[in-house]
Structure 1
Amino acid sequence: MKEYLYLRLKKISPLFIIPIGIEVIFFLIRMNNIHNSTASEFHGLWYAAAAAIILFVTTYQLIKIYYVGNDELINILPYSNELLTFIELLIYVLATTIFGTIYQLINIYKSGVKFNIIQYFGDKFLSLFSFYMLLLAFCTIFKNVRKAALGESLIIFATFLVIVCEILLFWNVEKSRIVHFILGITSPSSDIFVVYLNVLPYSFFGESATAIKIMTNFSYLLNIITSVISSLIVIFWKRIIKLNYMNLVG
């Protein structure tokens, strides 16, 4: 197991080390020119692009590792494919959360905005965990689809469909409380609250503290339910249906 973790971390690390290194550069810029709005806007655009690329690459890797089975090491180790893939996604979740936390800390540097790092870390971790577990659950469900292109399309479509359903459910339940919102994370402000629906962040502003608390708790509930159901599928699906772990041929 130690050897596997070492090899996976060695392979994955550039995907996160490079963006974090660039964040250090932005921090040095902010230290020397705190009120440079152009640098701040560019920083925000950079983070959005980097986070999207990381999400895309890790999603692709997880599908290829578990569904397609293109990592030979995962097939020869005396551990279940599900366990090794679960460890893989935990690495994705933790590293992406650390990257996001570093961005937030640099973004609010000397801005006077209070930042609850523990809450942010927990919110981000839970949202990413619910997404990757959902993805792994659908990888498990469609594992026996022998045409790789079809199976991958079904996995992505089903994951996207569930996320859309979560958003619609959240909107229908909370629409009376929502005043203003945008998709994504805006400039740091004490009046802006970020709520994660699965992997997507929404910034709300103009709402009362009570409304924000209710919406945040509901988002927690949705993410936890998604994580629990997905985990149960991963644990019990292969007991219900015999899975074929032969490598797929694209």
Structure 2
Amino acid sequence: MTRLIYNMSKKLLFAVAIPFFIELILLIIAANFNFEHLKLIHIMWFAVSTTILTLAVAFDNFKFYYLGEDDLLHLLPYSNELLLFIKSLMSGIVLWCYSFLGFLAINLIDKENLLHNFQFFGYQKIISVISFLTMFNLSLLIIKNIRSPKIGILVCLLINMLFIGLSIYLFKLSVNTQISNWIIGFSGNAQAYPIYLNILQIQIVSSSFQYSMPACLINILLTTLSLILFVIIKKTITINYLRLS
């Protein structure tokens, strides 16, 4: 198992080396130079690269578990679900580490302390990544017996859109005030604080941190329910593990 984790980690790190290298370069520039347009460049780069990395992680899980690709992994004496969990764990660590690098660069560009507002990029982001991967893996299990990959990917997208929509709906129910100033993604506003619903990042302009806890609790609730549902489906339904690609 240790050798397996090492090989999977090496493959994953090789795949994400380029965006990590670019982010490190931007971090070094932010620490040593006062470049006028660096903040705008970094926000645009970070938004695009984070989206691509997240989609790449999701598609990698989709190919492995649903399509049945990566024959060498499937030959190992471990269940597909355990291997999916290991892949997701390592991918989640990579996504959070990349987010943390971006967080450090943002603080350097804004001339803030390195760990300024870490509560927004620390445990909240970790919970968000776990929530996303858990619900995405549940969607893979739900579609596993669909024999047509084209239909499977459409159903998978629909299920995850419903998960995100449910997160947003529960968040709106949990807050008592109307949120007027917000944006999906990243903002250059120093007063904009992020909350995370599933993998969705929403920047809210507010002097209060009151929205953070409801978002975290919603992610934890949906993650727990997804894990329970995953176990129930796995134990009650016969899964087709035939390769579809």
Scaled by the length of structure 1, the TM-score of the pair is 0.90
SS in 2 for 1:37: coil
Structure 2 residues without counterparts, runs of 5 or longer:
none
Change (3 A) 1:244 1:58: same
The CA deviation string for residues 187-220 of structure 1, in whole angstroms up to 9 with x for no partner, is: 362x33211111111111134x2xx32x211111
Contact 1:16–1:99 under 8 Å retained in 2:
no
**Superposed counterparts of 1:57-68, under 5 Å:** 57-68=56-67
The CA deviation string for residues 98-154 of structure 1, in whole angstroms up to 9 with x for no partner, is: 111111111111634351436522111111111111111011111111112211211
Partner of 2:168: 167
1:233 maps onto 2:234 in alignment: no
SS in 1 for 2:108: coil
Q: What is the distance in 2 between the residues matched to 1:55 and 1:141?
A: 20
Shift of 1:177: 4.2
Q: What is the distance in 2 between the residues matched to 1:118 and 1:219?
A: 13
Shift of 1:20: 1.6
Change (3 A) 1:141 1:52: same
Q: Which moved more, 1:84-93 or 1:69-78?
A: 69-78
* Count of residues paired in the alignment: 243
SS in 2 for 1:41: helix
**Superposed counterparts of 1:84-99, under 5 Å:** 84-99=83-98
The CA deviation string for residues 231-250 of structure 1, in whole angstroms up to 9 with x for no partner, is: 1222231210011111114x
Aligned partner of 2:168: which letter?
I
Shift of 1:176: 2.0
SS in 1 for 2:122: helix
Q: What is the distance in 2 between the residues matched to 1:110 and 1:124?
A: 21
Aligned partner of 2:29: which letter?
I
In percent, how many aligned pairs have the same letter?
26
Aligned partner of 1:184: which letter?
G
Partner of 1:71: 70
Q: What is the distance in 2 between the residues matched to 1:112 and 1:43?
A: 15
Structure 1 residues without counterparts, runs of 5 or longer:
none
**Superposed counterparts of 1:36-47, under 5 Å:** 36-47=35-46
Contact 2:38–2:109 under 8 Å retained in 1:
no
Q: What is the distance in 1 between the residues matched to 2:231 and 2:77?
A: 17
Q: What is the distance in 2 between the residues matched to 1:238 and 1:27?
A: 44
Q: What is the distance in 2 between the residues matched to 1:2 and 1:173?
A: 43
Shift of 1:186: 1.8
Q: What is the distance in 1 between the residues matched to 2:109 and 2:167?
A: 36
Contact 1:180–1:205 under 8 Å retained in 2:
yes
Shift of 1:169: 2.9
Contact 2:183–2:203 under 8 Å retained in 1:
yes
SS in 2 for 1:109: helix
Change (3 A) 1:188 1:96: farther
**Superposed counterparts of 1:209-220, under 5 Å:** 209=208, 212-213=209-210, 215-220=211-216
Contact 2:27–2:101 under 8 Å retained in 1:
no
Aligned partner of 2:8: which letter?
R
Q: What is the distance in 1 between the residues matched to 2:139 and 2:103?
A: 32
Scaled by the length of structure 2, the TM-score of the pair is 0.91
Shift of 1:185: 2.3
Contact 1:82–1:234 under 8 Å retained in 2:
no
Shift of 1:183: 1.1
1:146 maps onto 2:147 in alignment: yes
The CA deviation string for residues 28-76 of structure 1, in whole angstroms up to 9 with x for no partner, is: 3223322x23122111111111101101111111011111110213322
Contact 1:15–1:54 under 8 Å retained in 2:
no
